[in-house]
Structure 1
Amino acid sequence: MSRLRITPDKPYLKIMHKLKCSVSLFMVMLISITSSASFVAFAVEDDLAYLPANQNYDPSIPKPEDILGYPVGTWHVRHDQLVNYMYALDAASDRVSLKVTGYTHEQRPLLLLTITDPSNHSNIESLRQNHIARLKSGEAASTEDPLVIYMGYSVHGNEPSGSNASLLIAYHLAASQSDEVKQLLANNIVLLDPSLNPDGLARFAQWANMHKGYNVVADPAHREHREHWPSGRTNHYWFDLNRDWLLLTHPESRARIEQFHAWRPHILTDFHEMGTDSTFFFQPGIPSRKNPWTPETNVTLTNSLGEFHAAALDANKELYFTEEAFDDFYYGKGSTYPDAHGSIGILFEQASSRGHAQESINGLLEFPRTIQNQVTTSLSTFKGAMANKAAIAAYQRQFYRETQSLIDDDDTHGFVVKAPKDEARFARMLSILTQHQIEYRVLSSDADFEDRQYSAGEAIYISLDQAQYRLIRSLFSERKRFVDNTFYDVSNWNIAKAFNLEYTAVSQSQRRKIKTNDQSWSDAKSQKQSYKDSQLVPNAYAYLFEWHSSDAPAMLQYLLENDIKVRIAGDSFSAKTLSSNQMTNEDSQQQANKTLSFAAGSVMIPVGLNQTDKLISLLETAQKGFDIKVHSIASGLTPSGIDFGSRQFAPVNSVNVLLVGGKGTSQYEVGEIWHYLDTRVGIPATLIDLSDLDRTELSRYSHIIFASGRYNDVDKKAVDSLSNWVKNGGILIGQKSAVSWFAKNGWLENKVLADDAIDAEFSTEGLQYKDRMDLASQKRVAGAVFTANVDLSHPLFFGFENASLPFFKTSNMVLEATNNPFTEVANYVEKPLAAGYASDQMEALIANSAAVVVNPNGKGQVIAFVDNIHFRGYWDGTNKLMSNAIFMSPLL
């Protein structure tokens, strides 16, 4: 840094001047005479120290320090401070327009600044629409058309140099009177997203600031540099938002994707941080790990922009690297999602001070320096974009032309997808398609492909002949072999398998079988069935709803919270229904006064046990809110199957769920479980730290859930307490490495395959030292789809339709089979790999092993999921297993 200020000890400045030494030399001297781990806190003298000289900044535009009260980098900026400054900039500058695009889970605003010349602001909507129209038409780019450059900062909240840099970049663009900035804004549009993860940024800023004293401690062991669980990397529910661009589980991602498609930027930047001992990284990453649907021209242009980053970092004598460590395969990351759309996504990774200053192998790493590098490469992005404007604009049109060529040459015409009985799950999948601007049509006539039947009004067709061809191909990929088998993230994200939907790839020769209409799915569904306005019969013997919908658990939880007594069917049956004269729905009229069949898992509400005037009102509210049909039942004597007074109609009481988190557990997996229970089911789970387990009174909880974690150090007192709790009737639920711990404690009959047994399957003969990473990648299962056969007669799978279920596997743990059909309720098939990468050796080890185990233990049960059933809130096909583990437990 060129200008530094020491605070609050002004006498140090006098000493420095008397010694006639530079600021940097003085700091070295100061550190040497104090502790090697601490020194007097300092910051840049003012915000202009970060920015180019000779900018003739407009004095009417406030600098960040004018609003913050101190220069950027002195403290970690909180999100509310960042928002205040951006509003001040919007008010002061006619180059800036601010828009709130949405809100986080914690109701923090998501901001997007449009920064361009005032003359462009006067017709900004016309510029946007013309840009999108030209893309869709494939019209050649005009030299007058502006580039759209999207600058996105700090999707990981504890990588804050990006968001702090965004303050300086916004000011620079708003206030600089240099010819370079004027030319940039006259001919281009900059979209600036200052904080992609406000909740995480706020959490980390609080952590870093609360540990800063006048004497900054650079010792890596200092508490400031070792965040407690959960880290600020994640959002409110502890998800990694940089993996959510494709999955759209969270409001931050949904708001961002809406703006991405509204603008379709030419360039999108993604500013991150990495380990403290690293340097600086910019793309392209490892060439062999590029997504196969991304054109080579994208890499060429990324390289061209990289020359400008290199020149800027060279000028500052900064160390950096490229073409290693990071990849561009998974389309759900911020720097990769744009690549599927003809945009150029660029990842920047800055070594992190993880606080205000920290020792590293490269010397003392100070927070202002990390900010400086993000500012430097933000400016080099603008410079590179202007220098390559013609090529970048031409590429986006070229991308669409090449896409059409790929469509014409593809033997596959599209994908037909069958709607399940679970309408809610299907609707969520369609919502993701719609947000990604993927078009689909409803089948208007029946079609059959091999052994699958698709009925009119019961399936959709997704043609590949559309602009989102590459993304669709990615979303329905079943690729199992790759040029490079090492993945920075997952190797598959097939949306139909994630939502457990039947689908078929339709070839060009089969396309004639497909007949569709322009009707939306919601319109087709509303004509077929809608229960929102159906009224119940007041004098019914009982009321009943089925368990097919993934919203059924939330409906049951709603009834339990309102003290309604319910029973769950342990077997199938038929029942006589009653009609209401006020029913208007055609489908409901046809089913009224009929004997209907109901599947196991159906929820029965006996009127005799619910003598309350609010019963019908509550049920009709639930029926309308969850859009699940509630049937009015005439009699407890059923024409077939179990009667309503059967012991197989098990009572379900209100549940009290304990979710174990804290240090030693996976914040991601705990967050996914919490998110599912909280937002999808409405269960107010109690969260505790693992370290508090031995001090927690377990008797008040009906269910205890363990995500993946390190449990070998859990003390004997806690283990004994859990053992006794299960034997007394508790339901213990675990996934992934928690299952290994369960087995170690004897709570499962199954054993986990030892690491050395896995190693024995891989020969090292003829290998060299350079081959060690490749061998390690063969032993990993980083993210692939595996198929298991499930026992639909078991309560854990009530509401599921197919005996074949795709699981998402992110570890190489193998739970050995015992061939006990009464405890092993799901086993992987003989050839389990369905999509994504796994070595032949790992697939063979996983084949026929256990996927889900339910082990009785005294009066209780231990339920083990080998895989993550809530992966990133996206794997909706297995989400419901957690609800079944909770609500169906009386039937176990």
Structure 2
Amino acid sequence: MLKKLLLAVLFLSTSLSAQDYFLKKYHPFNSSIPTPEEFLGYGIGEKHTRHDLIVNYFIKLSEVSDRASIQEYGKTHEGRKLVILTVTSPENLGNLEQLKAKHLQFTDPSKNPTNYDEVPIFINLGYNVHGNEPSSSEAALLAAYTLIASNNPEILNYLNKGVIFIDPTINPDGRDRHTQWANMYQGNPLVADPQDAEHNEYWPRGRTNHYWFDLNRDWLLGINPESRGKLTWYHEWYPNVVTDFHEMGTQSSYFFEPMKDNGSLNPIMPKENYVDLNNLFGDYFSKALDSIGSFYFTKEAFDGTYPGYGSSYPDLQGGLGLLFEQASSRGHKQTTDFGEITFPFTIRNQYISSMTTIKAAVENKGMLRKYQQDFFKSALGNASKSKVKGYSFKDEYDPNRVKAFVDKLLLHKIDVYKSGSSYVVPTRQPQYRMVQTMFETYAKYKDSVYYDASAWSVANFYNMDYRPVNTLNLGEKVVSTKNLVSPGPVKKTDYAYIIDYDDYNATAALYHLQSKGLVISSSFKPFTAKTSNGNKKFNYGALVIPVSLQKKDSDAVFKLIQEVQNKYQVPIYTTGTGYNSQGIDLGSRWVSPITKPKAAMIIGNGVRSYEAGEVWHLLDTRVHMPITKIPVRNFGWANLDKYNTLVMVSGGYDFSKKNLEKIKSWVSKGNTLITIGTASKWAIDKELIEEKLTEKEKDSTKTAVRKPYVNAPENIGKERVGGVILKVDLDITHPLGFGYHDSSIPVYKNNTVWLSPSKNDYATVAKYSKNPHIDGFITKKNMEENLKPSASLIVSKLGSGRVVLFADNPNFRGSWYGTNRLFLNALFLGDKIRIPE
């Protein structure tokens, strides 16, 4: 039966029969509404549809129908439109603002509406967050057409009782990257051979967005414009049901919720969500897919433990998030163990699930509304039961990093207050569960194998100095970050300006001034200077701009100083003397000019695109510094002498002996190689440097213990470090530690790279603390045998140069503001590191 269904579409020749493969259940259709095929010029599934065509079709539908309106909620990094098509009955559409006001009363714990069945249910159909999982966006076209053109009584009932928001492509940049690939290599006749180019994209593939971020991990972190736009929209509407359509391996079948059990010991989402509602909707999906002969599975894979998925974030907002995973044709037709899977077949499963989601939501709208109301009321109730009444945080040295964290809280509609020099987040608020997500940490878990991270306390991402409080002094509510940081205006001097390097934006200010031709120095010891603001103590790394030593006159220098302060809001001080009241003087040999970084990064097949994208994104969007991306395939003839810094992120680098020697020779000339994660292991394995990995001697007398075969994936998987937050002891006197005041900082580990501390007394910059665990699951074996004896950050001498080895990713998902500084210091100060023999 399955094979027949897979093959059936290949023999559809007429437009009517091709349409009926998807739509026959919902006749009759309004002939004045153009079908997707009429608009596109080809049948759904015959080609992969570009995002601009999807948007234009939605615009057309909104123009010709009184059932639809379209809204643009943002733009991608590459400028593509992010749109939502709202579809409902003409009467509902005309009263949408009034319906929204009634709907939002159910999210307000201070209100007590009981008209659960009277207000239409709000449904968000979300598609294609991973660009190379394309079937769902095609299904979005079919769903939109069905809801707008069908006059079937079932559809009319959905429109009367529901408001459906269709987001056809959450990741347009990635989708179009894949669409171009699939259409470019499409054969005629179609080629089903899995080895064909059509089914094997080139690096970085279409899964990710412009900066190679996985947007399905970005709902919590809100780093990219795609996610920020969607979150802003989400908190305007609070839909009751949200879909999250994906694809998986070609040899699989179809997945819908319920998921694998949540890995948390006490999940913060209500049990009614992941048990009652998931099973209720699961019954609908099974019947619908049974009716067309599709096979599927539930429960055994995928978990909603991490709150930043498109299928888990809604669960923390009183809605029901639903994950779907379709076996991918990865092109138009591909051979599998079950026969040939076609693109139209994958689209039909997603389309059927879309329409079934609407059916289940409409038929249970009273229950869903009551659930959402109870969700927000229980948030207040749960908070009242907790001994923790709020969280206080501050960082007197780095206001711009604090500002970035406050921005993250406000993005999720978390109430924040300014109380003196601290900020306070009360727990008793409707977004209590998001407050838990931001601040709570855990050591005990129900499960040991996770689909993604087991640690996400976002306050630790930002290295926030925070603590729970039992009494509250709220102060003034923060509603915007607009004027949260406002350093006093800098005064003109003919002697020197000093930039406080403790601020997160200091490296961006440094590069901006270097790019304008100024010479900037860094202080390698603290000092107290006589400034126009009085005596001011400066930490390691303070930036000194001597006016008389510049090639520009003092007026031009002052103009640049004003410009950089206005742009980055960094604290800048003026002094008229180089003689300091304490510490070194400004003319000291410990104040050294900083070389402008000229950086390159190796990318391409074998390189972990996520990590490469995080480096690119950090430098592009926060430092505004270019980095040359050298493909692996071009490395042999690349001229490395153009650069003073080379970045290698995690990956498998299959370099020839000649290319390995090329890197070694280049570093030895005095340059800096920065390695992250498995690239650090690679550098040690290839004996590029004289460092070692932490290894426990194997007991040759130990015999294997017989275990059940079925448990192998769980037993082996739990030793993988999926994502844990750990504490390290940082040498803040080392150039890589400049800008930090506290030697104890959190880092994020999601690999099994264990660096042995260097034999050089001065080369281990950060080592895991004696009691390193902060948040997340890690086995006792990994903790005791691998982690505790190991280092997180080492600098190793190589000739006149050095290799900076990060065991952990300092730029994880663009969100680790707390460790970005370590990486940026390696870029800007790497050549200043002198490793004593």
TM over 0.5, shorter chain: yes
Instruction: Pick one of 514, 518, 521 that aligns with 1:560.
Output: 514
CA distance, structure 2, for counterparts of residue 869 and residue 550 of structure 1 = 14
Matched, 1:632 2:574: yes
Q: 3-state SS of the aligned residue for 1:143? A: coil
CA distance, structure 2, for counterparts of residue 499 and residue 157 of structure 1 = 29
Instruction: Pick one of 89, 103, 107 that aligns with 1:135.
Output: 107
2:528 corresponds to? 574
Matched, 1:808 2:748: yes
Question: Any gaps of 5 or more consecutive residues in structure 2?
Answer: none
Letter in 2 for 1:644: L
CA distance, structure 2, for counterparts of residue 847 and residue 682 of structure 1 = 37
2:141 corresponds to? 167
Matched, 1:115 2:57: no
1:695 corresponds to? 637
**Partners of 2:377 and 2:430 within 8 A in 1:** no
Matched, 1:468 2:422: no
CA distance, structure 2, for counterparts of residue 296 and residue 621 of structure 1 = 53
- The equivalences for 1:58-73 within 5 A come to 58-73=30-45
Matched, 1:704 2:704: no
1:587 corresponds to? none
CA distance, structure 2, for counterparts of residue 707 and residue 837 of structure 1 = 24
Size of the aligned set, in residue pairs, is: 825
Q: 3-state SS of the aligned residue for 1:216? A: coil
C-alpha deviation, 1:42, in angstroms: 11
Instruction: Pick one of 304, 315, 319 that aligns with 2:295.
Output: 319
CA distance, structure 1, for counterparts of residue 79 and residue 624 of structure 2 = 19
- The equivalences for 1:841-852 within 5 A come to 841-844=781-784, 845-852=786-793
CA distance, structure 1, for counterparts of residue 277 and residue 98 of structure 2 = 28
When residues 327 and 718 of structure 1 are mapped into structure 2, their CA distance, relative to the original with a 3 A threshold, is same
CA distance, structure 2, for counterparts of residue 247 and residue 759 of structure 1 = 44
Please say which of residues 418-427 and 494-503 is displaced more in the overlay. 418-427
- The equivalences for 1:80-229 within 5 A come to 80-136=52-108, 137-229=111-203
C-alpha deviation, 1:260, in angstroms: 1.2
Matched, 1:516 2:474: yes
CA distance, structure 2, for counterparts of residue 877 and residue 761 of structure 1 = 45
**Partners of 1:275 and 1:351 within 8 A in 2:** yes
When residues 192 and 697 of structure 1 are mapped into structure 2, their CA distance, relative to the original with a 3 A threshold, is same
**Partners of 1:41 and 1:214 within 8 A in 2:** no
Letter in 2 for 1:647: R
Instruction: Pick one of 615, 635, 638 that aligns with 1:673.
Output: 615
Matched, 1:478 2:441: yes
Letter in 2 for 1:162: S
C-alpha deviation, 1:178, in angstroms: 1.1
C-alpha deviation, 1:206, in angstroms: 0.2
Instruction: Pick one of 262, 265, 272 that aligns with 1:297.
Output: 272
1:717-759 per-residue CA deviation (whole Å, 9 max, x = no partner) reads: 11101111111011000110000111123333331235x8599
Q: 3-state SS of the aligned residue for 2:222? A: coil
CA distance, structure 2, for counterparts of residue 132 and residue 27 of structure 1 = 47
1:582 corresponds to? none
- The equivalences for 1:784-795 within 5 A come to 784-795=724-735
Question: Any gaps of 5 or more consecutive residues in structure 1?
Answer: 3-20, 29-39, 444-456, 579-590
C-alpha deviation, 1:27, in angstroms: 6.0
CA distance, structure 2, for counterparts of residue 387 and residue 212 of structure 1 = 42
Letter in 2 for 1:233: R
**Partners of 2:71 and 2:84 within 8 A in 1:** yes
- The equivalences for 1:46-445 within 5 A come to 46-53=18-25, 55-136=27-108, 137-289=111-263, 292-298=267-273, 299-443=275-419
**Partners of 1:141 and 1:397 within 8 A in 2:** no
When residues 210 and 788 of structure 1 are mapped into structure 2, their CA distance, relative to the original with a 3 A threshold, is same
When residues 176 and 793 of structure 1 are mapped into structure 2, their CA distance, relative to the original with a 3 A threshold, is same
When residues 27 and 889 of structure 1 are mapped into structure 2, their CA distance, relative to the original with a 3 A threshold, is closer
| RMSD across aligned positions (CA) | 2.4
1:542 corresponds to? 496
**Partners of 2:490 and 2:573 within 8 A in 1:** no
Letter in 2 for 1:558: H
1:147-170 per-residue CA deviation (whole Å, 9 max, x = no partner) reads: 000000010000000001101100
C-alpha deviation, 1:574, in angstroms: 2.3
Instruction: Pick one of 571, 595, 598 that aligns with 1:656.
Output: 598
- The equivalences for 1:608-619 within 5 A come to 608-613=548-553, 614-619=556-561
**Partners of 1:44 and 1:71 within 8 A in 2:** no
CA distance, structure 2, for counterparts of residue 397 and residue 273 of structure 1 = 33
CA distance, structure 1, for counterparts of residue 320 and residue 481 of structure 2 = 37
CA distance, structure 1, for counterparts of residue 687 and residue 251 of structure 2 = 42
When residues 767 and 148 of structure 1 are mapped into structure 2, their CA distance, relative to the original with a 3 A threshold, is same
**Partners of 1:41 and 1:213 within 8 A in 2:** no
CA distance, structure 1, for counterparts of residue 795 and residue 703 of structure 2 = 35
**Partners of 2:82 and 2:226 within 8 A in 1:** yes
**Partners of 1:547 and 1:601 within 8 A in 2:** yes
**Partners of 1:762 and 1:841 within 8 A in 2:** no
When residues 740 and 354 of structure 1 are mapped into structure 2, their CA distance, relative to the original with a 3 A threshold, is same
C-alpha deviation, 1:400, in angstroms: 2.4
Q: 3-state SS of the aligned residue for 2:25? A: coil
**Partners of 2:7 and 2:340 within 8 A in 1:** no
Letter in 1 for 2:42: Y
Q: 3-state SS of the aligned residue for 2:446? A: coil
When residues 492 and 357 of structure 1 are mapped into structure 2, their CA distance, relative to the original with a 3 A threshold, is same
Instruction: Pick one of 657, 660, 664 that aligns with 1:716.
Output: 657
**Partners of 1:157 and 1:199 within 8 A in 2:** yes
Letter in 2 for 1:654: K
1:10 corresponds to? none
1:815-873 per-residue CA deviation (whole Å, 9 max, x = no partner) reads: 11245330001100122111110011111120141110011222111101100111101
Letter in 2 for 1:769: Y
1:87-111 per-residue CA deviation (whole Å, 9 max, x = no partner) reads: 1111111111100000000010100
CA distance, structure 1, for counterparts of residue 247 and residue 82 of structure 2 = 21
C-alpha deviation, 1:679, in angstroms: 0.8
CA distance, structure 1, for counterparts of residue 586 and residue 638 of structure 2 = 39
Q: 3-state SS of the aligned residue for 1:474? A: helix
Q: 3-state SS of the aligned residue for 2:582? A: coil
CA distance, structure 2, for counterparts of residue 27 and residue 171 of structure 1 = 23
C-alpha deviation, 1:610, in angstroms: 1.4
1:307-326 per-residue CA deviation (whole Å, 9 max, x = no partner) reads: 11111111111111111111
Letter in 2 for 1:607: V
Q: 3-state SS of the aligned residue for 2:255? A: strand
Please say which of residues 303-312 and 643-652 is displaced more in the overlay. 643-652
CA distance, structure 1, for counterparts of residue 261 and residue 667 of structure 2 = 51
How high is the sequence identity, in percent, across the aligned residues?
36
Instruction: Pick one of 670, 694, 701 that aligns with 1:729.
Output: 670
Q: 3-state SS of the aligned residue for 1:358? A: strand
C-alpha deviation, 1:296, in angstroms: 1.8
Please say which of residues 649-658 and 269-278 is displaced more in the overlay. 649-658
Matched, 1:869 2:806: no
Q: 3-state SS of the aligned residue for 2:190? A: strand
Please say which of residues 517-526 and 672-681 is displaced more in the overlay. 517-526
CA distance, structure 2, for counterparts of residue 522 and residue 161 of structure 1 = 39
Q: 3-state SS of the aligned residue for 2:242? A: strand
CA distance, structure 2, for counterparts of residue 671 and residue 545 of structure 1 = 29
- TM-score between the two structures when normalised by the length of structure 2: 0.95
Please say which of residues 762-771 and 642-651 is displaced more in the overlay. 762-771
1:115-174 per-residue CA deviation (whole Å, 9 max, x = no partner) reads: 111111112111112211232024334321110000000100000000011011001111
Please say which of residues 61-70 and 330-339 is displaced more in the overlay. 61-70
C-alpha deviation, 1:878, in angstroms: 0.3
CA distance, structure 2, for counterparts of residue 280 and residue 286 of structure 1 = 15
1:799 corresponds to? 739
Please say which of residues 416-425 and 784-793 is displaced more in the overlay. 416-425
